[in-house]
Structure 1
Amino acid sequence: MPDLHDVVDEIAEKMGQREDRGAVATYIPQLARVDPRHFGIAVATADGTLACAGDSEIPFSIQSISKVFTLTLALGVVGDSLWRRVGREPSGNAFNSIAQLELEKGVPRNPFINAGALAVTDVILSGHPPREALGEILRFIRFAAQDDSIFIDEAVARSEKATGFRNAALANFMKSFAVLQHPVDHVLGTYFHHCAIAMTCRQLALAGRFLAQSGRNPDTGFSLVSPERARRINALMLTCGHYDGSGEFAFRVGLPGKSGVGGGILAIAPGRASIAVWSPGLDAAGNSHLGRMALEILAHKMKWSIFGD
């Protein structure tokens, strides 16, 4: 087996040399300002090894990667009754599609598209004002990463609120079917802010370790979720984590993963490692162009695909 540090360094060098970097998200003005030349990678293994390279210490907006953590929290609040309000199937449509939502009477196809994440956020709001619910989300991520310096980028949150008309339409449509139980502005405000959480690749890889280790945080020995729930979250990441590019990601990389339009991807090699990559340029499906390439190389060289060598 090759040395992990050598592989990670080699990947960062290769990605740094590539000219085809994708295009940064422009519909959120703050994200449009990010330099597409950035590339970072961090790998946290089950044995405690941490391998980082490139821009792994630069915070970036995790965007939809936060949906992994909000889903985990919501399942902790209401358990499997969550699935009465959101499905578990791939969407096959854009992450912010309203057409599919109309056909399915306001019930989102899965928790990782925008509509599904709004429904999950509504569950977390149960019994809490938005500020408290957002604090709970941030505390959970900080606890998972064992890092209290993780923060919400308020400029990104304001930028999302100012341009979030499609998300507002989704939320109002779901409210009309009583899928959302809280005021729409409370759900949207909480959603925009948890998508605006900023993390480095190192922090994100550390935060994802519980999904690689059967629900357990290796620093504390504390189980954040049961092994069964960790497996199910990983299953949803594999089938739904890259929107309508999920099949291509599973085909090429062979790992559960969740992308964000900030250019980050959290990938899980069950029993082996939690991996975070960041490259702001996106492909046509809204996923990190170089991030997917980097994970494909890593999974191949380390023989980490869940489908075998």
Structure 2
Amino acid sequence: MADLDSIVAEIAHDMRGITERGHVADYIPPLACVDPGKFGIAVMDAGGGAHVAGDADEAFSIQSLSKVFGLTLAITLEGSALWTRVRQEPSGSAFNSIVQLESEQGIPRNPFINAGAIVISDILVSQLGRLGARQALLDFALSQSGAPEGLFIDENMAQQERETGFRNAALANYMRTFGNIRNPIEDTLDLYFHQCALTMSCRQLAGIGGYLMTGGVDLHSGRMVTSVSNTRTIMALMMMCGHYDGSGAFAIRVGLPGKSGVGGGILAIAPGLASVAVWSPGLNAQGNSLLGTLALEKLVQKTGWSVFNPFPLSVQKIT
């Protein structure tokens, strides 16, 4: 069995030769300018070792990937009461759909569609205040990354999110009519837009995902970030809902809990084994990274890390 450094290098080499890369998101101007030729991959193993290739150290906007971190903070602060305001079910709809909210009384299907993430932002604003919640998200990412230099909230991106976020404003206002947004709309959306503007590299993203791999333990400090139960819940939601209406296909192809963002990043977790981040800005029809998904599929084929594999490889067999 080849080692992880060889595997990620081979995957990055294979990705360079692929011409069909999807389409970069163009509804937020800064995303439209990203080079579709970029590809990065980083694997953080259970021992804290980083295995990287391609553009793994180039920063990018993680967009909806940040919903995982917002949910982690909210479920840790709010506990099971959170689930009275957002459900735990796949939506089967696009990430920014409004159609289900009316029939379901303003309760979003899950925390990873935009409506659900806006409710999570509202909960964090209630708990920590608008600026306090923003700082808590940034501090969480910085502390978990293991390499905080160059990890930041891009204020220009947040402003562009605000200026183009008409549908998100509609979602928030509509949920407020049902009493499911409890703070001023501008405060809740301010946090949501700044959360989506978190910017980091694949190496940093894989490092942050380490707490999901370890059952809630910070790989770098050994500190408990959140409970084992919360970690299980978050990863179950990632598996069912992390790729919106492409979640089922991702589960079949890759077989790992994963969360995508329209910036082209994907975070995937092999429980107990690895935290994996890939980045390629070209998206498929569901808004998920085209090459990123293919790269994760190849990684799982080479390592056996799919949670559906009846004979998964142990971390000792692949280092």
SS of aligned partner of 1:186: helix
Amino acid corresponding to residue 54 of structure 1 in structure 2: G
What is the deviation of 1:131? Answer: 1.6
Deviation at 1:129, TM superposition (A): 3.2
* Rounded Cα–Cα distance in structure 1 between residues aligned with 2:161 and 2:25: 12
* Identity between Structure 1 and Structure 2 (%): 55
Map of 1:50-199 to 2, 5 A cutoff? 50-149=50-149, 150-199=151-200
Query: How far apart, in 2, do the equivalents of 1:14 and 1:218 lie?
Result: 30
Gaps of 5+ in 2: 312-319
Residue matched to 2:38: 38
CA contact (8 A) 2:35 2:281 kept: yes
Cα distance, 1:127 vs structure 2: 4.3
SS at match of 2:53: strand
Quick check: 1:15 aligned with 2:15? yes
- In structure 1, distance between residues paired with 2:174 and 2:59: 34
TM-score in terms of structure 2 length: 0.95
Alignment partner of 1:8: what SS? helix
SS at match of 1:51: strand
**Native 8 Å contact 1:212 1:273 kept in 2:** yes
1:47-74, Cα deviation, whole Å (9 max, x unpaired): 2221000000110000000000000000
CA distance in 2, matches of 1:199, 1:83: 30
User: Mind listing any 5+ residue stretches in structure 1 that lack a counterpart?
Assistant: none
2:265–2:277: 8 Å Cα contact kept in structure 1? yes
- Name the CA distance, whole Å, in 2 between partners of 1:245 and 1:177: 28
Rounded to whole Å, the distance in 2 between the matches of 1:195 and 1:147 is 20
Question: Residue type of the partner of 1:137?
Answer: L
Mean alpha-carbon deviation: is it higher for 122-131 or for 188-197?
122-131
Q: Is 1:219 aligned to residue 220 of structure 2? A: yes
Q: Is the 8 A contact 1:2 1:302 kept in 2?
A: no
- Superposed CA RMSD: 0.9
- Per-residue displacement from partner, 1:161-195 (whole Å, max 9, x unpaired)? 11000000000001111101100010111100110
Deviation larger for 154-163 or 260-269:
154-163
Contact 2:42 2:50 in 1 (8 A): yes
Distance 2:51 2:145 in 1: 15
Residue of structure 2 in register with 1:252 after alignment: 253
Q: Per-residue displacement from partner, 1:233-274 (whole Å, max 9, x unpaired)? A: 111100000000000000000000000000000000000000
Distance 1:259 1:138 in 2: 19
Superposition deviation, residue 110 in structure 1? 0.1
Provide the aligned length of Structure 1 versus Structure 2.
309
CA distance in 2, matches of 1:275, 1:229: 20
CA distance, structure 2, for counterparts of residue 214 and residue 129 of structure 1: 28
On the 8 A contact 1:238/1:250 being kept in 2, the answer is yes
